[in-house]
Structure 1
Amino acid sequence: MGRVPRWLRPLYVQVLIGAVAGILLGHFAPAWGMDAKPLGDLFIRLLKMMVAPVIFTIIVLGIARMADVKALGRVGLRTVVYFEIVTTAALAIGLAVGHIVQPGAGMNVDPATLDASAISGFAKTAASQSLADFFLHIVPDTFVDAFVKGEILPVVFLAVLCGCALAHAGSRVQALTAVVEQVSDMLYRIVGYLMYLAPIGAFGAMAFTIGRYGAGSLLPYLKLMVAFYATCFLFVFGVLGLVSRWAGIGIWRLVVYLRDEIVITLGAGSTEPALPRLLQKLEALGCDRSIVGLVVPTGYAFNIDGVCIYLTMALIFLAQALGIDLTLGQQLVILLVGSFTSKGMSGVPGGGFVALAATLSSVGTVPVAAIALLLGIDRFMGEARAVTSFIGNAVAAVFVAKWEGKLDLQKARAVLQGTACDPALTPELSPGSVGTHQAPAATTYGNR
């Protein structure tokens, strides 16, 4: 077998090739494209299988090795404040762009013609997302239940409890902490193996999407989609760019550094498959493990920037399509309600749709059945939502690490400029190097 060309070795190139091949298959042979759906589903399942244990071990280790346990509360408070400011900015930007572009103007849709049955499932899920239910959902029924369901918030809750217990026990549980560290190294190695299947997963996901919906179905909603993608782009390189610059890192270099994971997120339409690798890369970038372990998993539930932009833009689109004029007071209520309904949607099927349904139900100015107008293109907008939220959580970890004085800025700049070796995360190398790299990294963080 001949040697693989150098240009073909990077993972993102292989994933892009798989995605393009899937688009072509879905366009020219729709039936075959839809039959390829299990390939994408299988890859996503394999990576989601690793999310809960990876999050658990990295949070436990981060807290257990934190020199000042009291700093945990301070980091948590700063993280929540940051999340609220950024997500509110995302909601406001989506609202403003919706008014400027007016994507739904002129559609003149009659509310009586809307098919409420098409969105009944989303509306029912949204109705169950009350504030009390949200907080009760954080605590699992049993210790194992959180891992069985693979839900992020309950796993974070358990990991924080275990990490605090190990940190307070000190040297008496040093051997147990070492075991957790070895398990973490093993999990990272498994993730390295699974990443080789990313091109196949991207192929299956894109083939099904194009085969099922077709490229032609996008034309009537092209204005909304272009506006949404452009807004996400401006948010990433504008708002998140300023935040990243304050932390001392250029947003473009950070995006390039995370290109493999971004392409995977784009193909899967979900941020969860790329989570284990994001945790690895942020540590390798110079962010303290304790910061990464707390900020990123929490951000997957509380810092969903892409969903926030989508929520307000979609709501304005629907109001314009139905000819409903929203007052300033109603729009302020939308911002307030949206800041709540967008939380905790990362683990909910059709999270963006559920958040929108919950907002419409709470505000009451636009009928919930109106979201049926977005069913045809929601899958295509999901990619932008996921990528924006993914980058937003990476920037959040860098920002909080800098705020806490736990960002090795010299190392970060060297890694981003390509002058520092990062053997664990280079796609050209074998996945076995992942585990080799992580053990000393954990020791380094433990000594800080």
Structure 2
Amino acid sequence: MLKTDHAAAAPPAPVPFYRHLYFQVIVAIVLGAVLGHFEPAFAVQLKPLGDAFIKVVKMIIVPVIFLTIVVGIASMTSMKAVGRVMLKAMAYFLVLSTLALVIGLVIAHVVQPGAGMNINPEELKAGAGDVAKYASDAHAIAEKMSLVAFLMDIIPDTVVGAFAEGKVLQVLFFAIVFGIALAQVGKAGEPILKFLEALTWPVFRLVAILMKFAPIGAFGAIAFTIGKYGLGALTHLAWLVGSFYIGSLLFVLLVLGLVARLSGFSILGLLRYLKSELLLVLGTSSSEAALPALMQKMERAGCGKSVVGLVVPTGYSFNLDGTNLYMTLAALFIAQATNTHLSLEQQIALLLVAMVSSKGAAGVTGAGFVTLAMTLQVVPTIPIAGMALILGVDRFMSECRALTNFIGNAVATVVVSRWEGALDRDRLEAALGGRELPMPELNEPSLPT
């Protein structure tokens, strides 16, 4: 593979601020919000812009995951490392996800966002029709919540089916197995490995091209949200929304900040490095919209290719810190609003059920609201009809859920890379300090900044 002399290369010309992706997304979000507020009828019709952008990004997620994992694993010298990375990642996910659930409970008790509303659950049943769809989805998932059924669902019926349906966990499973097999065939597999490495470049170039349309997607998505639900909906449940945003901010700065400090990097530096992707997640309300970009940028920041390929897609299913915090906070809000008393044992049961349900709904559209419905079905003490109280502002909380999930997975990737000794410290410090080093290979596709 050709190398480039970084020391002799001329420094790139500074890019004008208006050409940076993060600036364009900010402008798009502001314009979309203004349009949604003043022309809500027209703004609602722009929903396809956001949906189309998320759809084209999802189109590329599967090949990105497959190529990254296969190339990363096939390049590893020890197959024991694959199992070790997965074990460390799952242990990390379990601890942080559980901590997020506990923090949601604590915030609900301290802030008491639903206290004093005195809502009669019987009166909600007449207006809870909008909850029926989510409850139906939750019931379908709950029927497959056994450990055996969940594990069996990870194994695809056919390889083509996993790719065609875009099931991330199934593609992840096949990619790991195929990567191990490719590594074990030795020289016979080298042509295939070289082909997959070469295929990585046009795939990531496609990601870079698609990301240029991010401002359009963010504009359509935020215009629809404001036009459909209106800022007025926030005034009625501002205490709940504010509690969730503050709780998520504290989780990122204090909990993830402490994890980052113990791992030798700054959470604020990581947030600055990922500012374009964070704004994209904010605008589209979908962490999946930035998944391909996250994988590439974490590798560029010095995280090992194999670790990135294993941790990021797995974390998108098992490391949902924002969703977990939301579930326990929202559940206790409904209990407080309907004057439903929960004993300590019932709250512990709620936490345990939420730990499982958040994993079972991985990859489901609107997973936060669906998993909440599923949790309340299993813990019937809290009236599920109470979900109608938060349906109107759930869209505003979904942005925060997605942001927290996204940040949590970025931190997890660096931490696991450090544990595995697969972290280039110099490259990480340069990236987080705004001095991102170029990759050693020539012609590597780069994302808009």
Q: CA deviation at 1:239?
A: 0.6
- Separation in 2, partners of 1:121, 1:137: 23
1:242-321 alignment to 2 at 5 Å? 242-321=258-337
Please state if 1:127 is matched with 2:143: no
1:133-148 alignment to 2 at 5 Å? 133-148=149-164
Q: SS of the residue aligned with 2:76? A: coil
Please state if 1:74 is matched with 2:90: no
Q: CA deviation at 1:217?
A: 1.3
1:1-400 alignment to 2 at 5 Å? 6-114=16-124, 115-129=127-141, 130-131=145-146, 132-400=148-416
- TM-score between both structures, scaled by the size of structure 2: 0.92
Deviations 1:339-360 (A, max 9, x none): 1111153410110011101111
Instruction: Give structure 1 stretches of 5+ with no counterpart.
Output: 425-431, 438-448
Q: CA deviation at 1:116?
A: 3.8
- Separation in 2, partners of 1:344, 1:191: 29
Select between 79-88 and 147-156 the one with higher mean Cα deviation: 147-156
Please state if 1:408 is matched with 2:424: yes
Q: CA deviation at 1:419?
A: 2.9
Aligned length: 428
Q: Which amino acid in 2 is paired with 1:274?
A: A
- Separation in 1, partners of 2:389, 2:167: 30
Q: CA deviation at 1:436?
A: 7.6
After TM superposition, where is structure 1 displaced by more than 4 Å over at least 4 residues in a row?
none
Q: Which amino acid in 2 is paired with 1:27?
A: H
Contact map agreement 1:51 1:273 (CA 8 A) in 2? no
Identity of aligned residues (%): 48
- Over 3 Å counting, the alpha-carbon distance change for 1:372 and 1:340 in structure 2 is same
Deviations 1:106-161 (A, max 9, x none): 11111111234321221122122212442232122211111212121111111111
- Separation in 2, partners of 1:225, 1:423: 41
- Separation in 2, partners of 1:392, 1:332: 24
Q: CA deviation at 1:32?
A: 1.1
Q: CA deviation at 1:397?
A: 0.6
Deviations 1:345-395 (A, max 9, x none): 341011001110111111221122221211100100000000000000000
Contact map agreement 2:300 2:439 (CA 8 A) in 1? no
CA RMSD of superposed structures (Å): 1.8
- Separation in 2, partners of 1:269, 1:200: 14
- Separation in 2, partners of 1:128, 1:144: 25
Select between 61-70 and 107-116 the one with higher mean Cα deviation: 107-116
Match of 2:11 in 1: none
- Over 3 Å counting, the alpha-carbon distance change for 1:215 and 1:142 in structure 2 is same
- Over 3 Å counting, the alpha-carbon distance change for 1:191 and 1:318 in structure 2 is same
- TM-score between both structures, scaled by the size of structure 1: 0.92
Q: SS of the residue aligned with 2:359? A: coil
Deviations 1:74-133 (A, max 9, x none): 111111111000000000000000010000011111111123432122112212221244
Q: SS of the residue aligned with 2:423? A: coil
